Structure 1
Amino acid sequence: MPDLANGKYVSQSDALRQWTPAARDVLVETAGVYGAWVTEQEVGHRVQSATGITTKQPADEWVGALLARVAADAVTRDEPRLASLCVRADLSVGDHAGSAPGEGVQARELQAAQDRLECYRAFGATLPEDGGQPQLTPRRSVARAAAPAKRVARERTPRPAPNGTMRVVVCTSCFMEVPAGTTCRDCGATLSA
């Protein structure tokens, strides 16, 4: 349960209500810099500092609900999806209610990159002469560039798990190593055996 600097406790919904404008401010500031993004942990730290309402819960447990509120507010203001500027610690977009829509991780990542570009344009970032391009976060860019070679090598030579009974493949959607089967247990993509 969140608490105030004076030691009094507040409900989670009251905390979220107070944190929402502070989170919007953080994201609008982030949108003012072309290519910028911010982590859930940083948003969590900054909204708690700005409001004086703190929690001992890890940011990844409550920032999704906060971003959903920011996203709903952006819709009422007819603004681009500000929540797309916030990424997880591993630099991937989340799957909370305010995140970019899409079937599968890769589709959400690509939509979030487009949404971030719209945010940079809407909130005054200095753009390159060509108007800017959607940019994946560094982790997603590296994974995407490395995916074709990695995927081909793993599909040709799947290796057994330590117990020798299960084959492992690399998911072509989220690039995680998973047991061969019909769907990826991480992102739900269909896999070949």
Structure 2
Amino acid sequence: MSAEEAWNIWAPHAYDLLVEVAARYHAVITYGEVGKEVQDRSRVRTSALLQNWIGAVLGRVVRRAHRQDHPALTALVVHKDDGKVGVGYAEVLQVAGQQPVEDEMERERHAASARLDCYRYFEASGLPADGGKPALAPRLEQAVRRQRATVPQPRPTCARCGIQLPVSGACDYCD
């Protein structure tokens, strides 16, 4: 079987799988999980490295979702190690006629919004009555929180002289 034939077999399975993921509010799935599941469901296996074929399969999902006027289901697929969408997410924007998003965190915010569209469209269980909020993938959200916690907060300054205040909070020069 050719790679193209395998991709065409796997794509509908990937689509169905992503619709299932979209049915759970704030759920995401990793590229590896998608790869394993489409092979299990189709019983068509490959020994090729995931990164050499998953993009072709998800590209088919992007185009199908666009043709059916469904939200960008591939926004639900993230990397296991960092919780980010892959560079292939650019295809979602391209197919929709939108400009590419170069900034990584801006791309992640776009994907979070696209995921929320998926949860709403497919009426996800656990979706709040207010329609929910976009959210970064859990692993990425944890990394962002850790990073924020390690950024030192600026210390207060004296209102009169502008010098940074000591821990006591009283200016050594003005008080």
> TM-score per shorter chain, which class?
0.7 to 0.9
TM-score (norm 2): 0.75
CA shift, 1:107, in A, is 1.1
Q: Which has the larger radius of gyration?
A: 2
Q: Does 1:78 pair with 2:77?
A: no
- Report the AA paired with residue 63 of structure 2: A
> What letter corresponds to residue 85 of structure 2 in structure 1?
V
In 2, the alpha carbon distance for the partners of 1:125 and 1:143 equals 25
Q: How does 1:1-193 map to 2 (within 5 A)?
A: 10-90=1-81, 91-96=83-88, 97-99=90-92, 101-126=100-125, 127-148=127-148, 150=150
Offset at residue 143 of structure 1 (A): 2.4
Higher mean C-alpha deviation, range 72-81 or range 54-63? 54-63
Percent identity at matched positions?
41
> Which residue of 1 is the match for residue 170 of structure 2?
none
Write the distance in 2 (CA, Å) between the matches of 1:18 and 1:140. Answer: 31
Gaps of 5+ in 1: 1-9, 154-193
Counterparts of 2:24 and 2:109, CA distance in 1: 19
Distance 2:27 2:92 in 1: 16
Greater share of helix: 2
Distance 1:152 1:55 in 2: 48
For residues 92 and 109 of structure 1, the distance between their equivalents in structure 2, rounded to whole angstroms, comes to 7
Pair 1:152–1:13, CA change in 2 (3 A): farther
**Which residue of 2 is the match for residue 184 of structure 1?**
none
Take 2:123 and 2:40, find their aligned partners in 1: how far apart are those partners?
25
Paired AA for residue 122 in structure 1:
Y
Distance 1:12 1:151, change over 3 A: farther
Provide the rounded CA distance (Å) in 2 between the counterparts of 1:74 and 1:12: 22
**What is the TM-score when the length of structure 1 is the normalising length?**
0.69
Q: Is the 8 A contact 1:19 1:48 kept in 2?
A: yes
CA contact (8 A) 1:99 1:112 kept: no
8 Å contact kept, 1:83–1:98: no
Which structure exhibits the higher relative contact order, with contacts defined as CA atoms closer than 8 Å and separated by 6 or more residues? 2
Deviations 1:137-181 (A, max 9, x none): 12211222233464669xxxxxxxxxxxxxxxxxxxxxxxxxxxx
Alpha-carbon RMSD across the aligned residues, in angstroms, is 1.9
Aligned residues: 144
**Number of the residue aligned with 2:156:** none
**1: CA distance, partners of 2:113 / 2:56:** 22
The 1-side partners of 2:131 and 2:28 are apart by 18
Q: Which runs of 4+ in 1 moved over 4 A?
A: 148-153
Distance 1:152 1:102 in 2: 29
Q: CA contact under 8 A between 1:41 and 1:60: conserved in structure 2?
A: no
1:64-101 per-position Cα deviation (integer Å, ceiling 9, x unaligned): 22111100111101111000011112221101154565
Counterparts of 2:107 and 2:150, CA distance in 1: 21
